[in-house]
A and B are shown apart, each in its own frame.
Chain A
Amino acid sequence: DAGITQSPRHKVTETGTPVTLRCHQTENHRYMYWYRQDPGHGLRLIHYSYGVKDTDKGEVSDGYSVSRSKTEDFLLTLESATSSQTSVYFCAISGVEDGYTFGSGTRLTVV
């Protein structure tokens, strides 16, 4: 997963607590995305960014917020974690013509 790192790789948190996941890229790509992966649902888009401070919602954005203050960092925040947000979260980056490059994922468990 050259050029894109996610942190943490694993996290267990309690219901109702805020959680922030970080995606960092060194490719200077304009577009960054947050997906969640769940069995039977594949990859579903949560939020995406097309530049610094430019973000938009995906199909499953409820309960999530994002921020992008620098080109290289895209943060995903679960404002008050729920058990339904237990999932594997992937960050992806892309240039104008490229396909996606995915990070290694963050496995989040909400107990």
Chain B
Amino acid sequence: QQQVKQSPQSLIVQKGGISIINCAYENTAFDYFPWYQQFPGKGPALLIAIRPDVSEKKEGRFTISFNKSAKQFSLHIMDSQPGDSATYFCAASSPGNQFYFGTGTSLTVIP
């Protein structure tokens, strides 16, 4: 079964808008929640990550919001740009264990 559920599958946003991608998990042992960005023909690359001791982490235009009680976390891309068009994966892991990935969100930012 899918350990991490990601939505939406695809997203189209106007330039300058906010892109929001959501993920949910069930395993309360997960303690590391990264987001990966993947451009066509490339491998996924770590974008930003959070641990459950904080509710939000911001790096530039990218913010992770984390809701431990709801077992949900989300990626917000502020002032979205055409260069942000890519596939985004959320993931979760527990100490010493493998990562479980969401199914990915294809983001298109329209100029």
Contacts and interface: CB of A to CB of B under 8 A. Distances in A.
A42 to B, nearest CB: 4
Contacts, number: 46
Interface in A95-111: 99-105
Interface residues on B, range: 10 to 19
Contacts of B41: 104-105
A100 B103 contact: no
Contacts of B12: none
Given A1-B43, A99-B34, A43 B89 contact: yes
Given A41-B103, A42-B103, A42-B104, A104 B43 contact: yes
A43 B98 contact: no
B13 interface: no
Contact of B103 (A40, A45, A58): A40
B1 to A, nearest CB: 10
Interface of B: 6, 9, 32, 34, 36, 41-46, 49, 89, 98-99, 101-104
